[in-house]
Structure 1
Amino acid sequence: MYWNSQFLRSIQLKRNEIPFFNRYPFHLPCVKNLDELHFHPKVTFLVGENGMGKSTLLEAVAVALGFNPEGGSLNFHFSTYDSHSPLGDYLKLIKGVDKPGDGFFLRAESFYNVASNIEEMDREGLGRRVIDSFGGVSLHEQSHGEAFFATFLHRFGGNGIYILDEPEAALSPLRQMSMLTRIHDLVQNNSQFIIATHSPIIMAYPDAKIFEFTDTGIIESKLEETNHYKMMKQFFDDKNRMLHHLLDE
């Protein structure tokens, strides 16, 4: 029953409809070797090195769900630069029986555009101020990290699906730990998260599913098995040796 009630159970690639696999984004190993990806009913992490396609696949999932490619909730329809890939058109979504009451697509690289769009909508004065759902203070008048955290804290209301692309980009380690607490509160309130991240702190959320993107495709992994965790552990276990290796000429 719990499995059926999660909002997004899995995605399937419509392989027979793809015209070519030798061009972006279909040449990426995470797409080229994809058949179906099953999500955790609570939290799923997409991790891996730069260029492996995490953000591309996450964006495609968000677009297929109806979110603006640049981020926001389902009622955000602005566009500052049309750069998203067509991958979302080739994904089949396998959903649960319940529909989310809330949702948000947050991506670090275009959050400024979301903040600007909120101010534009509020200047039009068509009803309740949008910024009130984000804590009431202009996101442009806060630091990047404060604006990010205000969104987690105030805008995410629970009973929703939340797609996050590298949320740690603006957050200190302490704020990343606070984010774990907020994620847990929302999970307890019937929410589902799909998060692309480089942060071992964030991906430490218990009972989550971790998919590591590699140059051969996607593999399910444990935190301690990911390259991110092993690299950070190696660095802090023997910082001087690592620095000597990196800086020695």
Structure 2
Amino acid sequence: MFVARAYVPDFRRPDQRARGEWPYTIPAVARLLDEGLEFTRPVTILVGDNGSGKSTIVEAIAEGFRLDSHGGRASALRGRPDRTKTPLGEVMLLDTTAAGARMLAGPRLKKRGFFLRAETAFSMTENLGGTLGYWDADTAAMSHGEGYLEVFNHIFAAPGFYVLDEPEAPLSFTASLRLVALMHELAQTGAQVVCATHSPILASLPGADVIQLDEDGFHRTTWDELTLVDHWRRCLNNPDTYLRHLTAEDDPA
């Protein structure tokens, strides 16, 4: 593993006025501010509804490990200026393991890591195929899901620190299972993955540290106890219990 903890030191903590503003009003971010977030296993899965702070936290983690905050590799230099850090990224620090410290201190081309950023993932698959240091395949000529899997197959080729923000977006059921297998294989090599997801499939990865983000902040749980899994089970068993109040006005009866 490369990162043991994400935290905000006392000297960087925002004042009370700032804590009344986004993103510190998000319960999960507020808890991270107060207590930090420890990483105890090679794969950490952050699960929560829209607005729960998943993307806010993983983007700050990527920034803390000096990954390309546009979305991309740790060693990326593509001639553009650095993005202004996010508010959480400005104050958050990472406690790295010895391996993480060595990687950050080493030569740029020896760094192994990748940030899949939800907002820029599609343009990456469209534009980076064939670019030196990325992947050889023409992902622009593939379906969105096929392009994603090609990217994953390439970037997961070596142990490193990988941060994924909702990577399931373009993936089918079977492709999601393949991504679970890829992450599991990657974890066996000594790599570390932090993944924010809405997918009950990705959250089921064997051995993952599953953390639910909700109105109480965040807490560790099991796949079976995730609110997400409970809702999917209920909906798939009986969709009408969820849909009838949404579609009643269109019912000709």
**Scaled by the length of structure 2, what TM-score is found?**
0.84
Indicate if the aligned counterparts of 1:7 and 1:41 stay in contact, CA closer than 8 A: no
Secondary structure of the 1:179 match is helix
What SS does the corresponding residue of 2:180 show, helix, strand or coil?
Answer: helix
| 2:23 equivalent in structure 1 | 25
Is 1:232 the equivalent of 2:250? no
Q: Deviations over 1:135-162 (max 9, x none)?
A: x222222222111111111222121111
C-alpha distance in 1, partners of 2:238/2:50?
25
Could you report, residue by residue, the CA deviation over 1:110-130 in whole angstroms, capped at 9, with x for unpaired residues? 0134346636x94xxxxxx33
Q: Distance in 2 between matches of 1:176 and 1:207?
A: 17
Structure 1: where are the runs of 5+ without partners? 1-5, 123-128
> What's the Cα RMSD here?
2.3
Which position in structure 1 is the counterpart of 2:57?
Answer: 57
Equivalent-residue separation in structure 2 for 1:51 and 1:195 (angstroms) = 16
- 1:204 counterpart residue number: 204
Q: 3-state DSSP class of the match of 1:10?
A: strand
Structure 2 matches for 1:103-142, cutoff 5 A? 103-115=113-125, 118=128, 122=131, 129-131=132-134, 134=135, 136-142=136-142
Q: CA deviation at 1:68?
A: 1.8
- Paired amino acid for 1:225: E
Residue 114 of structure 1 aligns with an amino acid whose one-letter code is: M
Structure 2 partner of 1:125: none
**1:12 and 2:7 correspond:** yes
What 5-or-longer segments of structure 2 have no aligned partner? 104-110
Sort the Cα spacing of 1:176 and 1:80 in 2 relative to 1 into closer, same or farther, 3 A: farther
The residue matched to 1:169 in structure 2 has which SS?
A: coil
The answer to whether the 8 Å contact 2:125/2:139 transfers is yes
| 2: CA distance, partners of 1:95 / 1:107 | 22
User: Is the Cα–Cα contact under 8 Å of residues 53 and 213 in structure 2 kept in the other structure?
Assistant: yes
Bigger shift: residues 204-213 or 110-119: 110-119
Give TM-score scaled by structure 1 length.
0.85
Q: Quote the Cα distance in structure 2 between the aligned partners of 1:12 and 1:242.
A: 38
Match of 1:145 in 2: 145
CA deviation vs aligned residue, 1:44-91 (integer Å, no higher than 9, x gap): 011111011110110000001101222100122456995752211211
Give, in whole Å, the separation in 2 of the partners of 1:69 and 1:190: 23
Q: 2:107 corresponds to which residue? A: none
CA distance in 1, matches of 2:196, 2:81: 23
One-letter identity of the residue aligned with 1:139:
T
* 8 Å CA contact 1:74, 1:104 repeated in 2: yes
State, as a whole percentage, how many aligned pairs show the same letter: 30
Distance in 2 (alpha carbons) for counterparts of 1:60 and 1:224: 28
SS class of match (1:193): strand
